[in-house]
Amino acid sequence: MLNHAKNLIKKVIQTGHQTTTLLDKRFLKKSIECKWPPVFILGPPRSGTTLLYQLMASSFRFAYFSNLTNRYFMCPITATQIGIQLCHEYKTDFTSEYGFEKGCMALSEAGNIWNRWFPQEKRDGFNYTPSGYLSKKTQESIYKIIANIEDSFDAPFMTKNGKSCVRIPTLLDIFPNALFIEIERNLMDSALSILLRLKKYNLDWWSVMPKQIDQFRNANNLEKVCKQVYFIKKNITEDLQSCQPQRFYSLQYDTLCENPAKKMDEIYQFLESNGCFVERKQFMIPQDFQKSTPKVDGWVSRAEIVNMEKMISNLIQKEQPF
């Protein structure tokens, strides 16, 4: 009886969302082009991508997917325009809960939106999306939605979604002029942070599945998190080889924390040199940020840490360093 009621509620919600697609139809019927190259932030989970996203959205005027847009994911254009008109402009104190910030116009990874088109781990069992995976019709729909979001803000579009790391070939199918900004962090710190989440919430998996997921899908959690961050980084490195070198920029998490203003200046120059002309905001960038370190006490033993360090070192030696 309870399961029947849950399924009924689920169907009602799905029908409601499906109905909202009508709200965006008038936008999608029009011919529209992106005025600027879209910007995709890349990095394995827990590598500092959210901090980078917050800093860029605070320093420059960008179009983006908000929490409101993600909530009404079947009509993202309409939701964006309502949010711009009725909600407060985005401001941040640079805190978040695993990438989530509260607020109508807060930055969103927009999983509900991207999962409409791309493989999702719970539904499909994988995330990696090779070139040609999406139909031309789907690619055109995604392009038009991004172009309309861009038009709504009258600014270049930027997004941070962890799974962009394993969608680079398809993103280049849709946006041949896309720009990529990669943030790199010590792989051990990222792996430990993911392991903590698995332990605290009794999970078997969390976040992005790299191309090589079938090689370690049934491994223990220590091996899973080490191979997850390693292979995601490997996927990024390999897939960006098909992109012109001047169209991607890499920075280190540590140096971003040490001198965020300098990194924002470098990113501004990178964007401008690639035709992505962004407006600087009147925003006082913090002098620095305290570097985040995984709080493992009581959760991860010294023996587990040693094992993880060995696994990551062996992976780098076996697979070749980046």
Q: What is the DSSP string of 103-153?
A: STTSB---HHHHTTTS--HHHHS-----TT-S-HHHHHHHHHHHHHHHHHH
Contact 150, 35 (CB under 8 A): yes
From first to last of its 322 residues, the chain has per-residue pLDDT tens of 545 434 433 454 454 566 788 899 999 898 999 999 999 999 999 999 999 999 999 999 999 999 999 999 999 999 999 999 999 999 998 888 888 899 999 999 999 999 999 999 999 999 999 999 999 999 999 999 999 999 999 999 999 999 999 999 999 999 999 999 999 999 999 999 999 999 999 999 999 999 999 999 999 999 999 999 999 999 999 999 989 999 999 999 999 999 999 999 999 999 999 999 999 999 999 999 999 888 888 899 999 999 999 999 999 988 665 5
pTM greater than the 0.85 cutoff: yes
**Helix (H) or strand (E) run with residue 86 in it:** helix 76-86
User: Which pLDDT does position 17 carry in this prediction?
Assistant: 61
Rg of the chain on CA atoms, in Å: 20
Q: Which domains does the chain have, with CATH numbers?
A: 27-319 (3.40.50)
Cα–Cα distance for residue pair 177/244, rounded to 1 Å: 9
Cα–Cα distance for residue pair 120/15, rounded to 1 Å: 20
Beta strand pairing status for 179-184 and 60-61? Answer: unpaired
Give the up-direction half-sphere exposure of residue 101: CA atoms within 13 A in the CB hemisphere.
20
Residue 153 burial by CB count (10 A; 0-12/13-18/19+): exposed, middle or buried? middle
Residue 9 burial by CB count (10 A; 0-12/13-18/19+): exposed, middle or buried? exposed
User: Which pLDDT does position 151 carry in this prediction?
Assistant: 97
What CA–CA distances, in Å, run from 13 to 68, 72, 83, 277?
A: 16, 11, 21, 40
User: Which pLDDT does position 269 carry in this prediction?
Assistant: 98
Beta strand pairing status for 158-160 and 248-252? Answer: unpaired
What are the phi and psi torsion angles at 158 (to 5°)? -135, 145
Q: Which residues on neighbouring strands pair with residue 280, listed in sequence order?
A: 60
Contact 191, 55 (CB under 8 A): no
Contact 178, 40 (CB under 8 A): yes
* Six token digits for residue 165: 């790391």
What CA–CA distances, in Å, run from 255 to 146, 258, 264?
A: 31, 5, 11
What CA–CA distances, in Å, run from 199 to 69, 194, 229, 236?
A: 31, 9, 17, 27
- List the one residue out of 176, 164, 180 whose CA is nearest residue 251: 180
Q: How long, in residues, is the chain? A: 322
User: Which pLDDT does position 194 carry in this prediction?
Assistant: 97
Please give the DSSP secondary-structure letter assigned to residue 210. Answer: P
* Six token digits for residue 65: 């997917």
- List the one residue out of 63, 77, 74, 98 whose CA is nearest residue 20: 74
Residue whose entry in the numeric block shows the structure tokens 């991607």: 248
What are the phi and psi torsion angles at 109 (to 5°)? -70, -15
User: Which pLDDT does position 321 carry in this prediction?
Assistant: 52
User: Which pLDDT does position 7 carry in this prediction?
Assistant: 46
Cα 280 to chain center, whole Å? Answer: 22
Cα–Cα distance for residue pair 130/168, rounded to 1 Å: 8
